[in-house]
Amino acid sequence: MPSTSDRRSLLSLVPVVPVVVLDDLDHAVPVARALVTGGLPVIELTLRTPVALEAIAAIAADVPEILVGAGTVTSPALVGRAVEAGAQFLVSPGTTPTLLREMAGSGVPFLPGTATVCEAMAVLEAGVTEMKFFPAEASGGAAYLRSLASPLPAARFCPTGGITAATAPSYLALTNVGCVGGSWLTPSDALAARDWERVTALAAEAALIRSSTGL
């Protein structure tokens, strides 16, 4: 299992963190195993569906070789519920002072969400240098993040939202980006068809994206 001894390692584990929405609990373990087989032993399972917390628990119990995290953490109450279910890291789409304090006290790595300079500065002011940039494409994309590197040199980002296999390299080439979040690795039609080989193939392609940047 990948180590998460600090937040910096969370951004350095894989070039693409699979961002997964599951509606069927029976898909949890197979999709996690497919991602591991493809070379991406990390999964961010979003808390957008009724089965999300159960899915985290199932993956944590049955696929110990993957690092399972909870995404779309939108309230302080969800922090404790996610960690109790087995989440090993937390990701929020945005950040409030209360949510940031709760995540900081959770005992697991976390990526608070930011979309503006002011939000990134507030997270930095709280002593957190690793954060999510969301929604990436709608908020200015790679060009926007490039413009933040000079005024906010301490900030490092995991941009998520609208990123594809074609656009990921432009983000990964930036000095202030450690990884990207991608939902294209687990398309809904592949999940519905239980096409785990397709998920594995998409994961294998994503695992090699960083090398195409020349970094």
User: Which residues are designated catalytic?
Assistant: 44, 132
What is the distance between the alpha carbons of residues 190 and 196, in angstroms, rounded to a whole number?
A: 7
CA distances from residue 82 to 45, 47, 110, 150, 212 in whole angstroms, order as listed? 10, 9, 12, 35, 35
Report the alpha-carbon distance of residue 19 to residue 180 in Å, rounded: 10
- 84 Cβ neighbours under 8 A, 6+ residues apart: none
136 vs 64: CA distance, rounded Å: 30
15 and 206 Cβ atoms separated by less than 8 Å: yes
Indicate the pairing of strand 113-114 with strand 90-91. unpaired
